[in-house]
Chains A and B, each alone.
Chain A
Amino acid sequence: MKSIMLECQSVSVNFNEFVALDHVNLKISPGDFFGIIGPNGAGKSTLIKVLSGVLAPSAGVVNLHKVNLRSLPRQEIATKLAVVVQEEDLGIGFTVAQYVALGRSPHHGGLYFENNFDSDIIREAMIRTQTDHLVNRQFDSLSGGEKQRVRIARALAQEPKILILDEPTNHLDIYSQINLTELLEQINLKGISIVTVSHDINFMCGACDQLKLMNKGKIIAEGSSREVITEENLAEAFKVRVFVDINPVTMSPRITPLGRI
């Protein structure tokens, strides 16, 4: 049996009357690569916030290596868990190198200068994400796809055991999407567990080993993409009629939306 790194035990989150998460159980073990899908408002982003410890659950507990996440200092969490969120990158003014270097901050105090070890890790993170040629560019001037890879480079510089991504394919063209899929596979092969949330079901089927389908704050189906991506499951969660077949090239399920129910 694989050891469990991050675990949600019956986690619920309520925003006033609204139930965003309803007794969710989830386990992340070393090497896992799973995707969370579901309609808008299903609780995907809330789940990510709870998993990263940014949001406290109303009930239940999230454990990181069997310790309650909420009782751990933020700095310690950040050395084990990296999160790539969609963010407004407003006049930051950092170069790509400086931006990626911020990933080292969980390993240091309030004032530090990068040592050779830090530089090696930063360099490796940039090479792995193919962002090394952007090193002196201003982060603000990059394209959507480049920014996403640079954000991932920053996350890798944290040397995390778990990488969490929120909607990584938003605003990406198909070239960048393919690039991202390959990158995430490589990262996963290096032993980093990956959890990603996305609207893009076809992308998720191609990228993830395991899928979890959420609706109304609950996980309503989980397993391999063939187990989860069925016409019945998608009809229940998304309220749409879809046609599901197997992509003959990738051998993973593929959906074609037909209409509303």
Chain B
Amino acid sequence: MSTDTALCSMTQSNTLKRTITISAILTGSLVIVSLISLLEGTTSVGFSDLLSSILHQVDSSQNSTIIFSYRLPRILLACVVGAGLACSGVVFQGVLRNPLADPYIIGIAAGGALGAVVSISLFKWNGLFSTSIFSFVGSLVAVGLVYGLTVMRKNSSYINTVILAGIIVGSMMNSMMLLIMSVTSSHELQRILFWMMGDFSLADYDKIMFSGTIVLIGFLVIYLNANRLNVLSLGEESASNLGIDVQRYRFFLIIIAALMTGSVVSVAGPIGFVGLVAPHSMRLLFGADHRILLPTAFLSGALFLVIADTTARLVAYPVELPVGVITALTGAPFFLYLLLKNRN
């Protein structure tokens, strides 16, 4: 390909056109998968039943209840959580310059989980808002610790340091969580256990509105910094020489990503590997430019989690699996693949 043709492909209209086309395709897939998920389950609903339920909203038939009170909120929440985790995965990978940084693997989701458990168990605050605040604070503490440990050991292999620090912070957070749970009354314990398995069966519209708002605003704010993320992924000195105030934007983007992680963990529990699988599939397909990567990872994160949740509902029918099991089963081999690919 000649230079001209290749360079043309990165001019304004083309990068934009490409982003929009790919996003449209992903949105289409998301709608189709969601429709299938809406119709399939213990009770299969026909497409015509779905249409009639939508057209007659007051219809209190069984189908309508299943669709609007059970399956739809579940799908929407899966979308929000998947998009949020994937988006914060992209940010952590770019800012920490580590392809393996996923909110779950580097201990941030565990921090969020600990925060939520503290809120539910110690303070008996299980409202959406208070668990989210605690969850956010927990995520921030975890990010701070991982980041601090990494900076302290700057001379060692960077990729391994982030992962090791994440494992240490994650297991510390997890054991504190177990400690709290061991002194928690059985009623709250059940609530916590359910939530910890990472599951959408308790989805409701309040949760969707709450975390959806944070995820959407967070995404927009991060997308407005897409080019800065490109530059930050080159490393501290280069980014600084390219005109980025590194400390400021790194801090800012990490806070936003931690806020997103905290808010989704507080409504759905810690769900692993979404922040790894979605961004990396998109990176392999469409490259590392964050202007394309952010929206595609956002949408494919939603897509991945809707598929995973539908699978979790249907695969061992009539038993439902926790969605975290499905994401881990697909995500862990993917993680291994990336680890081997990046070993040099």
Contact = CB atoms under 8 A, between A and B. Distances in A.
Interface string A145-189: 000000000000010000000000000000000000000000000
Contacts of B243: 73-79, 105-106
Contacts of A93: 283, 287-288
Nearest to A115: B12
Contacts of A17: none
Interface centre among B8, B16, B238 (most CB of A within 10 A): B238
B126 interface: no
Contacts of A118: 11
Given A54-B241, A77-B243, A110 B227 contact: yes
B227 A112 contact: yes
A43 interface: no
B174 interface: no
B266 to A, nearest CB: 28
A133 B2 CA distance: 7
Interface of A: 52, 54, 73-79, 82-83, 85, 87-88, 90-95, 97-98, 101-103, 105-106, 108-116, 118-119, 122-123, 126-127, 132-133, 135-136, 158
Interface stretch (B192-200, B210-218, B228-236): B228-236
B332 to A, nearest CB: 20
Contact of B241 (A73, A83, A98): A83
B223 A111 contact: yes
A261 B245 CA distance: 46
A114 B97 CA distance: 24
Given A111-B291, A112-B227, A126-B3, A91 B235 contact: no
Interface in B175-225: 223-225
Summarize B's interface: helix, strand, loop or mixed.
Answer: helix
Given A94-B288, A111-B227, A113-B16, A135 B6 contact: yes
Contacts of A98: 10, 230, 287-289
Nearest to A49: B237
B141 interface: no
Contacts of A90: 97, 158-159, 235
Nearest to B13: A113
A82 B240 CA distance: 10
A102 B230 contact: yes
Contacts of A83: 237, 241
A126 to B, nearest CB: 7
A133 B227 contact: no
Interface string B223-265: 1111110110111011011111100000000000000000000
B235 A94 contact: no
A108 B245 CA distance: 14
A118 B235 CA distance: 23
B279 to A, nearest CB: 11
A54 B237 contact: yes
Contact of B12 (A114, A127, A136): A114
A110 B228 contact: yes
B20 to A, nearest CB: 11
Contact of B15 (A92, A109, A113, A126): A113
Given A54-B237, A102-B242, A114 B6 contact: no
Contacts of A112: 227
Given A126-B3, A135-B3, A87 B227 contact: no
Contacts of A110: 224-228
B7 A97 contact: yes
Nearest to A81: B241
Interface string B1-36: 101101111111101100000000000000000000
A112 to B, nearest CB: 6
A87 B8 CA distance: 29
Nearest to B245: A74
A123 B7 contact: yes
A142 B248 CA distance: 32
Contact of A132 (B3, B13, B228, B291): B3
B11 A136 contact: no
A83 B241 CA distance: 6
Contacts of B231: 102, 105
Given A92-B234, A112-B227, A158 B242 contact: yes
A92 B234 CA distance: 7
